[in-house]
Structure 1
Amino acid sequence: MQKCIWLTAILCYIVLSSSAQHFVINSARKNVNIPFKLVRNMVVIKLHINDKGPYNFILDTGVGIMIITEPKLVDSIVIPNKRTIKLSGLAEGEDYEALVTAPLDIQIPGVNSEGVGAAILKQDYFNLSGYVGMPIHGLLGYDFFSELAVKINFEDSTITVCKPHDLSKLRKMHKVPISIEEKKPYLETTITYPGGKKIKNKLVIDIGAGHPLSLENLITKNGLPSKFIAANLGVALNGPITGFISRMQEVDIGKYKIKNVITSFPDIDYAKRQFSIQRDGNMGIGILKRFHVIFDYSNSTMYLKSNRFFKNPYEFDMSGMEYFAGGENYQHLIISRVSPGSPAADIGLEKDDEIVSINLKPVSQMGIEEVDGILKSKDERALLLEIYHDKKYDKVILTLKRRI
């Protein structure tokens, strides 16, 4: 999910005092373990701000500064010396407002902030809470990674942080050089396109992007692969980012070769955007979660070791539905889009229909992550759905189909 690429490209320049903004480990501890929850390929951690909370934040290497996406937090925490800025150029004839704060007191168990401020959106443009199915209050990026070594273990959902010189047990991990440019990590990789053509690409390493891989200039330079589907790829301030989904034959990261990778291709209008750092796309958590990952920004290095998820095949949604969690406690699953010609369209499902149950199990007892897993589980699998449509309940059979 490329939920805020356009926003963060501008916000990365709105910095209070870049050299002073970072996090430190409390007292004399050498390392700190922080639990996280992986939901819809989002790494969610809990933190406090100015002694209020806890709040749920998505850890996101694609973000230049801390962003508070939930405007109501302004009423919950005391934020002195904030100023209003205009975000322009993101949509025809429209300006968007955000508040920029003075340094906040941000506490993660065992870790505290020093000089870290935030940008607070005046409107929740992205509905991350509805997408994830739980309250989400913001995004935490570069400031968290800048002076700490950060290890993410996707097998036990634990983040371990330490000072870079205290890193240990690296002999079994593969060292990958990266560059830190305008507060974001980049790597160079070789991608094998359908047909066997190998091309070097410079990619943003973006654990806040739910997809495995996005290539932004492929359509204009090479055209689309022969097999693809149209899709909404994410959300920007002026609406959905449209494009296409296909597969790349292989992605090489150091010694690792990752096969048959689901890949997003933003449409030509998006690809024409000019980035201050020339790049070809981004690598998201769909690839990175197959590794134990250590980020060491201070030494321009990422360490990788394949985990038990490494050989899992890449699958995409087989229903043709996009949906979000709504209502009290996010227990209602509402369809936001149905792809033409998809299995969901074939049985007449429509935008704003509610999915009430799947195979007689209420979705309120499942969570959006479990629903995602079911809807990309097996080609030709038949599911019994209960749907609330036009003020009545219907039962329909949805037969999944591998579309890409």
Structure 2
Amino acid sequence: MRLARRGFLALLWLCGTVTGSASASDAPQSQVFPLSIVDNRPFIAVQVDGKGPFSFIVDTGSSSSTVSTALAAKLKLAPTSAGTGTGAGEQQLSFKIVHLNDLSVGPFSVGALDIPAMDTSQLNRVIGFQHFDGVLGTEIFRKYVLTLDAPREQVTIQDEDRFRPAADAIPIPFSLDENDMPVVTASVAGITGMFQIDTGDRFSLTLFGAFWRAYRLDGQMGTTVEAMTGYGGGGPIRGIVGRPARFSIGDLAVPAPVTRLSLQKAGAFTRGDRAGSIGMGILKRFTVSFDYGHHVMWLSKSTGFDAPEPYDRSGMWLGLSGQRGLRVIDVTANGPAAQAGIHAGDIVIKVGALPAEASTLFRIRALLQEPGNASVPILVNRTSGDQRVHLVLQDLISP
């Protein structure tokens, strides 16, 4: 998830003031914490005003930390002002700014903050998050070096003077934009541009509209499909999805990533001064360290660096229903689900042998991406009763 105020770029542009003050800390110089990757987002346990733990996304794309409105209410966080903004979706948002006395990961504190309280209920329903309490944004990256090791499911937080890159780590210099978001040089299909680094972006690679249209990159993505590709503040995110033959960060070649060509008409993905966004789908191929003090990102290839990246083969987006089963949020035109007679709004009760519920949603999405699965039986609940549907899976983009 990405966040910003006006002048920040991320999930929102906030029309309010976000402030913070670092408190003195007796934090150790280095400590390792558990990391969970959920929907390609890195989650870590955070304490708010000494209470917790709460589940926050670690987000280089968020120029301010945030809390959910549910957590703000639970902790009785006092509003200090209000704001409006736009997100990755196209609709305007409104929110309140709340005061925190302290935000910390273990003993690593970023001090007192005034930050947005965001209503994440719709995002939770569409994506399927069951525990999403907020976003840990740029404040912690400005103060400490963070190393995200997705394969080992751990994050290391260190004082800057304690950090030493791994022997095999590749340095990638970055600049920090006006929102403290890292920006690097990268190239796609031989075309070089400036890309933001966003650990809160679920997609591997997003190309912004002005960039991909200027270079007609929709013709260099192999087989493509237009689909709903995610959901952000302000609504759904639609794009043309494909896979370029070549992609590199600096001189470092990366296996061809699943790539989204943004079709958004408003919001964060319409920015014209950069090519796009490098998300966690790519970054999780590495152990990645962020050293903001020296403006360097260090990348060490993981053991699964060369593993192929799958993409949905069902042509439908499933989310939480708030009742029995999972709700079909979106159906790709002429895709497998559409051909099987599945419609947006249908309630799915079972997928293969898996009951369709919140606890199995991400397993079901993985099942529907698996190249070895030719078809899967689906049980759909409609007003006329439960109906069995035979869903024939197919590759929607080039492998």
Alignment of 1:233-312 (within 5 A): 233-267=229-263, 269-270=265-266, 275=271, 278-312=273-307
1:175 corresponds to: 171
Cα distance in 1 for partners of 2:371, 2:73 equals 46
Alignment of 1:185-200 (within 5 A): 185-192=182-189, 198-200=190-192
1:195 corresponds to: none
Cα distance in 2 for partners of 1:11, 1:81 equals 15
SS of aligned partner of 2:345:
coil
Give the letter aligned to residue 16 of structure 1. Answer: T
Q: 1:184 to 1:89 in 2, by over 3 A?
A: closer
Give the letter aligned to residue 62 of structure 1. Answer: G
Give the letter aligned to residue 17 of structure 2. Answer: I
The structure 2 residue matched to 1:82, chosen from 80, 83, 93, is: 80
- Note if 1:209 corresponds to 2:201: yes
Alignment of 1:26-175 (within 5 A): 27=26, 29-68=28-67, 70-80=68-78, 82-87=80-85, 96-121=93-118, 123-124=119-120, 126-128=122-124, 130-175=126-171
More displaced 10-residue stretch of structure 1: 289-298 or 367-376: 367-376
The superposition leaves residues 83-130 of structure 1 with CA deviations (integer Å, 9 ceiling, x where unpaired) of: 1223379999x8642212334322322322213331113x43752355
Q: 1:118 to 1:391 in 2, by over 3 A?
A: farther
Q: 1:99 to 1:268 in 2, by over 3 A?
A: closer
CA-atom RMSD in angstroms:
2.9
Cα distance in 1 for partners of 2:244, 2:70 equals 42
1:389 corresponds to: 382
Q: TM-score normalized by structure 2?
A: 0.88
In structure 1, the gaps of 5 or more residues are 193-197
Give, in angstroms, the shift of residue 313 of structure 1: 0.9
- Kept in 2, the 8 Å contact 1:291–1:307? The answer is yes
Cα distance in 1 for partners of 2:385, 2:139 equals 49
Give, in angstroms, the shift of residue 361 of structure 1: 2.7
Alignment of 1:325-340 (within 5 A): 325-327=320-322, 332-340=325-333
Give the letter aligned to residue 76 of structure 2. Answer: V
Cα distance in 2 for partners of 1:273, 1:291 equals 25
- Kept in 2, the 8 Å contact 1:176–1:302? The answer is yes
Q: 1:283 to 1:323 in 2, by over 3 A?
A: same
Cα distance in 2 for partners of 1:335, 1:32 equals 42
Cα distance in 1 for partners of 2:229, 2:358 equals 27
Give, in angstroms, the shift of residue 158 of structure 1: 0.4
Identity %, equivalent residues: 21
Give, in angstroms, the shift of residue 258 of structure 1: 1.6
Give the letter aligned to residue 194 of structure 2. Answer: K
1:370 corresponds to: 363
Give the letter aligned to residue 354 of structure 1. Answer: I
SS of aligned partner of 1:117:
strand
More displaced 10-residue stretch of structure 1: 378-387 or 179-188: 378-387
Give the letter aligned to residue 151 of structure 1. Answer: T
In structure 2, the gaps of 5 or more residues are none
Give the letter aligned to residue 205 of structure 2. Answer: L
- Kept in 1, the 8 Å contact 2:225–2:242? The answer is yes
Q: TM-score normalized by structure 1?
A: 0.87
